[in-house]
């Protein structure tokens, strides 16, 4: 009893802070859930009607990642649409864009991607082997890491030096 009277201010402050923290987290999570649900609904409607510019603009404002995924899907369907490609380039050049998303955009636009770094080295080494530049090709092939799925192909190219039968 004496302990509670002595520290009642501190105890009540801790309880109030904990209640406020839990309430704040609950409210923030509900707001995020609502925004996610709303963006998903817009995306679903946009898949049904891809030509709706109003929905496209709403999705761009609500969720940039879903907007980018939609643009990538549309870019695959229509490779000659420069409007989608220019928009993807703008998203790619944005400093706040997710790094993984940047790599996916680069890959879809035909640029070099970090995902295919080892594959690019393998192709470049094969071209060097065709030109009979074996030492340069071996240097490139040795840069492919042991845990890469392309490592066995790289070892085979090193061993056989690109000789075809």
**Predicted local distance difference test score (pLDDT) of residue 28:** 98
* Nearest partner of 55 among 72, 65, 40, judged by Cα: 40
Greatest alpha-carbon pair distance for the chain in Å reads 93
Q: Convert 23-53 to b/e letters by CB count within 10 Å (16 or more is b).
A: eeeeeeeeeeeeeeeebeebbeebeeeeeee
pTM of the model: 0.59
Q: Look at the alpha carbons of 104, 107, 113, 118 in this order and tell me if their dihedral is positive or negative.
A: positive
pLDDT at 165: 43
DSSP state of 115: G
Q: For position 145, what pLDDT does the model report?
A: 84
pLDDT along the chain (165 residues), means of 10: 86 96 98 94 90 90 87 74 80 80 78 72 86 88 83 82 56
Centre a 10 Å sphere on the Cβ of residue 22 and count the other Cβ atoms it contains: 10
Q: How far, in Å, CA of 76 to CA of 159, rounded?
A: 38
What SS3 class is residue 110? coil
In 3-state terms, the chain is what percent helix, strand and coil (to 5)? 80, 0, 20
Measured CA angle at 105 (ends 100, 61), to 5 deg? 85
């Amino acid at each position: 009893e004496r302990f509670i009277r002595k520290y009642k201010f501190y105890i009540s402050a801790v309880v109030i802070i904990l209640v406020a923290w839990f309430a704040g987290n609950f409210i923030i999570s509900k707001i995020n859930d609502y925004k996610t649900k709303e963006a998903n609904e817009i995306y679903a409607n946009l898949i049904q009607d891809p030509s709706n510019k109003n929905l496209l603009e709403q999705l761009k404002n609500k969720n940039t990642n879903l907007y980018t995924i939609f643009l990538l899907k549309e870019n695959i369907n229509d490779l000659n649409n420069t409007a989608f490609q220019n928009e993807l380039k703008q998203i790619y050049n944005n400093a706040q864009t997710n790094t993984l998303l940047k790599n996916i955009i680069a890959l879809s636009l035909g640029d070099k991607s970090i995902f295919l770094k080892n594959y690019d080295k393998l192709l470049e080494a094969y071209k060097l082997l065709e030109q009979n530049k074996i030492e340069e090709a071996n240097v490139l092939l040795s840069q492919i890491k042991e845990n890469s799925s392309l490592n066995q192909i790289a070892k085979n190219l090193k061993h056989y030096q690109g000789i075809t039968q």
